[in-house]
């Protein structure tokens, strides 16, 4: 049966396309158009020592929630792990008290 898999090319993980594992996606920095990383985002709560994560502060929490009501991830918002957890808990508490909506119904 091993012979049959090797004959059909289906025994490989790449689906018989003939690609090697070391080939990668074939995109170099030059081919990608110079897309690099932008400026490193910093946690606003770490920079401003007097800024606190508070579930009653709707204006601050709106910055970390999308228009559809989803919590914005760390890599987008720039929060550190500790403050991102605090923001998530605060958003969930504010939702429970109906300070901010769970979802936005449109249309």
The tens digit of pLDDT for each residue in 4-60 reads 555 555 555 655 555 555 555 555 555 556 666 677 789 999 999 898 999 999 999
The count of domains in the chain is 1
Question: Is pLDDT larger for residue 66 or for residue 27?
Answer: 66
Rounded Cα distance between 99 and 5, Å, is 60
Residues written for the chain: 107
- For the cut 80, the answer to whether the pLDDT of residue 85 exceeds it is yes
What's the CATH number where 82 sits? 4.10.640.10
Domain that holds residue 66: 44-96
Does residue 25 lie within any of the structural domains?
A: no
Does residue 24 lie within any of the structural domains?
A: no
Does residue 49 lie within any of the structural domains?
A: yes
The pTM score is 0.63
Does residue 82 lie within any of the structural domains?
A: yes
Does residue 52 lie within any of the structural domains?
A: yes
């Amino acid at each position: 049966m091993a012979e049959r898999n090797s004959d059909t090319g289906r025994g490989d993980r790449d689906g018989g396309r003939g690609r090697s594992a070391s080939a990668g996606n074939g995109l170099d920095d030059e081919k990608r158009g110079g897309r690099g990383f932008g400026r490193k985002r910093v946690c606003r709560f770490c920079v401003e020592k007097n800024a606190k994560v508070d579930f009653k502060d709707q204006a601050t929490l709106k910055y970390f929630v999308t228009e559809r009501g989803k919590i914005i991830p760390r890599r987008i918002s720039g929060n550190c792990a500790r403050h991102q957890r605090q923001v998530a808990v605060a958003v969930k508490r504010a939702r429970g008290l109906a300070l901010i909506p769970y979802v936005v119904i449109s249309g």
